Amino acid sequence: MISCLLLCGLMIIAAGDHAMMQVQGLGCNWGTRATHPLPPSIAVRLLKENGFDKVKLFEPDEGALTALGNSGIEVMVGIPNDLLASLAGSVTAAENWVSRNVSSYISKNGADIRYVAVGNEPFLKVYKDTYIKTIYSAMENIQAALIKAGLGRQVKVTIPINADVYQTENDLPSGGDFRSDIRDLMLSIIKFLSDNGGPLTINIYPFLSLYMDPNFPVDYAFFPAAGTSSTVVVDGSISYTNVLDANYDTLIWALEKHGYSSLPVIIGEVGWPTDGDLNANIQYAKRFNQGLLNRLNLGQGTPKRSSSPPDTYLFALIDEDAKSIEPGNFERHWGILYYDGQLKYDLDMGNNRTLQPAKGVKYLPRQWCVMAPQASLDDVNMAESISYACSHADCTSLGYGSSCGSLDARGNASYAFNMYYQANDQKKEACGFSNLSAVTTVDPSQGSCRFEIMIDTSVKNHEKARSPGVTTSSAATQLEETFEIMLHCTMMFWIVMLVTAIS
């Protein structure tokens, strides 16, 4: 192992001389839970211009899959957890799913679908046992359906799992094993994947390590800057400088212990949010993502699998303002780009290429809804108006330590009113908060706080043809679901926060 580390070090130095090195197998997650989604044709061009040759979708979004046709980008398409029970219970359901959501896009559309991700983090502890009984059969039925459709070689089944399915008793990667409550199931899944040539997909979030543990050593969440050494964990002959490597290798050790040392393991989600928490900011996000990209550019793997980096899908391409914020306010800010594909920060993508913003996006008119100049913070309707706005739109940038966290009380009200107004396509009545609000054409943005203008989703051809099926019923259902969750959780939160702030 020591000699390998030395050798790898030498190889890295050699590779560093070649400015032409390109990130191999760089993927990106493209989520579509947004009130005003970026038009699929623009998103696909964004992926291509930034050198992403793989994309992961959380569901077979029609607009996305249509736009990805003949793009040359490999696609991983996900099956949402709520479909697992029906797919587990019926081979026919699985066949229909594959036929409609995989085969047709490959044959009619030229989409290069390579993976079907069955479920999404089905073993998260918050789901309790909901998916434990169905995940394996769903995977079997989808695999059988793929084979029946003649896609058994081309399209592989995988399961994206959260890193909490494994743990280590001695805090070292070499102590890694699967969580005892699901060990047998994990071993069955792994055997199945191995038998069918599918990879295991793992989501790893150093940000969450920091978020959940205030004592977590900050530097260990990031990759060390070139030329610095910051060993934090020594495991036998291996020195770990960052939690991503240590976490990934914990899984590799667990696989090795059970005889699967060569099972391919994809990193399905990794990234850093830019807003909604003290540790979710542009500086940290840039530091993390640049460190990750540099490593991928060098072709460097983890200590246990050092010969090449795992296929890695950044989370995520763009922000999604309609995602559930149950995990935290940061959940809507994971994009390396804003919701509209505009730059948050520079990134060196490798191959002499810097991160490029989206082009050709059409926006609603340049106007905002703000608190009316003559309105008073003491108005009896004020608190209720704000909480109503925030329970129907995205106010996650208003919290402590967030990009709009230092607005004054009037600024808070304006921000809330504007988000509601924009989320509702700038409809006149969406700026009618009991005469407390007014439309302005003067940009109210202050410092780090951006008062956004939404994408004009009524424009049917942002640059060229945009598929007609963009606003699918499933997207609408998602929004309803999300707003329901928001109404239940966010409403209480914002009422408490804003009413106290204002009174």
Is 269 annotated in the active site? yes
* Bridge partners of residue 117, in order along the sequence: 78, 158
Of 343, 370, 336, 372, nearest in space to 358 by CA: 343
Which residues inside 390-409 make contact with ligand NAG, applying CB under 6 A? 398-400, 407-409
- Cα torsion 240, 242, 243, 246 to 10°: value is -30
Question: Which of 92, 307, 342, 352 is in the footprint of ligand NAG by CB under 6 A?
Answer: 352
Of residues 2 and 20, the one with the C-beta less far from ligand NAG: 20
List the Cα angle 62/68/71 in 5-degree steps: 165
User: What mask of x and - would describe binding to ligand NAG in positions 42 to 61, judged by CB under 6 A?
Assistant: -----------------xx-
Of residues 203 and 490, the one with the C-beta less far from ligand NAG: 490
Question: Which of 2, 20, 126, 442 is in the footprint of ligand NAG by CB under 6 A?
Answer: 20
Q: How many residues bind ligand NAG (CB under 6 A)?
A: 26
Question: Which of 26, 55, 83, 193 is in the footprint of ligand NAG by CB under 6 A?
Answer: 83
DSSP structural state of residue 490: I
Sequence-separated (6 or more) residues with CB below 8 Å from residue 96: none
Residue 328 near ligand NAG by CB under 6 A: no
Of residues 178 and 451, the one with the C-beta less far from ligand NAG: 451
Question: Which of 66, 290, 297, 412 is in the footprint of ligand NAG by CB under 6 A?
Answer: 412
User: What mask of x and - would describe binding to ligand NAG in positions 417 to 446, judged by CB under 6 A?
Assistant: -----------------xx-----------
Residue 497 near ligand NAG by CB under 6 A: yes
- Cα torsion 278, 280, 282, 286 to 10°: value is 130
* Least distance CB 497 / ligand NAG (angstroms): 4
Question: Which of 7, 10, 100, 480 is in the footprint of ligand NAG by CB under 6 A?
Answer: 100
Question: Which of 29, 35, 50, 101 is in the footprint of ligand NAG by CB under 6 A?
Answer: 101
* Least distance CB 30 / ligand NAG (angstroms): 15
* Least distance CB 204 / ligand NAG (angstroms): 25
What sign results for the dihedral spanned by CA atoms 433, 277, 268, 341? positive
Rounded Cα–Cα distance for residues 427 and 447 (Å): 27
**Segment contacting ligand NAG (CB under 6 A): 95-103, 143-151, 162-170, 280-288?**
95-103
Cβ atoms of residues 486 and 325 within 8 Å: yes
Of residues 486 and 497, the one with the C-beta less far from ligand NAG: 497
Of 22, 30, 25, 26, nearest in space to 315 by CA: 30
* Least distance CB 371 / ligand NAG (angstroms): 12
Of 304, 297, 311, 264, nearest in space to 27 by CA: 311
Of residues 148 and 362, the one with the C-beta less far from ligand NAG: 148
* Least distance CB 216 / ligand NAG (angstroms): 24
Rounded Cα–Cα distance for residues 18 and 352 (Å): 11
Sequence-separated (6 or more) residues with CB below 8 Å from residue 412: 386, 398, 404, 498, 501, 502
Catalytic residue among 62, 74, 95, 269: 269
Of residues 237 and 435, the one with the C-beta less far from ligand NAG: 435
Of 108, 120, 133, 126, nearest in space to 161 by CA: 120
Catalytic residue among 59, 62, 74, 121: 121
Preceding amide of 316 cis, omega within 30: yes
Of residues 131 and 178, the one with the C-beta less far from ligand NAG: 131
**What are the structure tokens assigned to 428, written together?**
């006149």
DSSP structural state of residue 488: I
Pairing of strands 368-371, 437-440: antiparallel
Q: Which residues are catalytic?
A: 121, 269
Q: Where does this chain bind ligand NAG (CB under 6 A)?
A: 19-20, 59-60, 79-80, 83, 96-97, 100-101, 352, 398-400, 407-409, 412, 434-435, 474, 497-498, 501-502
